[in-house]
Amino acid sequence: MSPHHAIVLACGTGLLFSQVSRSFGRELNVPDSVVDPAAHNRAAWDKYVQEGNEWSRPVSSEEVERARMGDWSVVLIGHEPVDRSWLPADLTGKEVLCLASGGGQQGPILAAAGARITVFDNSPRQLGQDQRVAARDGLELRTVLGDMRDLSAFGDATFDVVFHPVSNLFVPDVAAVWRECFRVLRPGGRLLAGFLNPDVYLFDHEALDERGELIVVHKLPYSDVTHYSAEERATKFGADAALEYSHTLTDQIGGQLAAGFILTGFAEAPHQSNASAPYLSHYFATLAFKPG
């Protein structure tokens, strides 16, 4: 959920939109083919787990026990619980794919609520968090390692629900994600997806972090690979930081429609701490169904 681009301190009121840069940032036009985002981001997220990233902190045994009793919530965007009506009223026995959703958070809660859970993630350490919660609290769930763009580990029409929290910013293309989600869902199955508002990538990250200023410098679509050299990325974000990519709403919403989904729900939320929060929604979420 954008760990190296999100500021960690809430800024005060009176933020100023600075004059738009005429340069729209650097565009090096480095082809994505020279970088393997899956391999790079696997290592990055393994490191984030070791560092205690907020999206890698497992739920408690108390939360799992409450979920067993029917008192539960999971997040799809930001820190806001997803609308329970977006999920089946009774999860008992439902096959749920938690897609790019490792970290010991959503998967264990939905498993405790009765679902048959598969957690699919690119990071072995993220999956390790789910495995530890399952062992600690006696939950049944399976974990599968892989790239969210390739769900060939699963057959057609395998799942009733795909739960896909904000994570597709870590792959350069999302069309394959939507196609694969559609393929593995059963007819009548549902996709809950969270993703970033692409406008958040317009801004200079250092100005946000250091002064709480919203300065437009990047032309969209944005990519860490095409907008900065490896040396610049190391200076700005750290050499081991995950690579991020913005995606247009045509790719995010239009891509789901092109894959065959019918969209029936939409939600948005501000970032929990970013300086952009008073001005725009940082996150979007969609509920979509596979016709059946």
At 100-125, the pLDDT tens digits run: 999 999 999 999 999 999 999 999 99
Strand order across the beta sheet in which 141-145 lies: 141-145, 116-121, 95-99, 159-164, 185-196, 283-289, 262-269
Q: How far is CA 252 from the centre of its chain?
A: 12
pLDDT at 188 over 90: yes
pLDDT at 1 over 50: no
At 67-89, the pLDDT tens digits run: 999 999 999 999 989 999 999 99
- Rounded to two decimals, what is the model's pTM? 0.90
Sign of dihedral through CA atoms 91, 93, 98, 103? positive
What is the average pLDDT score of the chain? Answer: 89
Band of pLDDT at residue 30, cut at 50, 70 and 90:
very low
Q: Which two tokens stand for residue 201?
A: 């990538």
The string of DSSP letters for 255-288 reads HHHHHT-EEEEEEEE--SS-TTTTTS--EEEEEE
Q: Across residues 261-280, what is the average pLDDT? A: 90
Burial of 24 (0-12, 13-18, 19+ CB in 10 A): middle
pLDDT at 14 over 50: no
At 154-185, the pLDDT tens digits run: 999 999 999 999 999 999 999 999 999 999 99
Instruction: Identify which of 204, 199, 201, 227 has the alpha carbon closest to the alpha carbon of residue 214.
Output: 204
* β-bridge mates for residue 162, sequence order: 97, 191
pLDDT at 21 over 50: no
At 35-49, the pLDDT tens digits run: 899 999 999 999 999
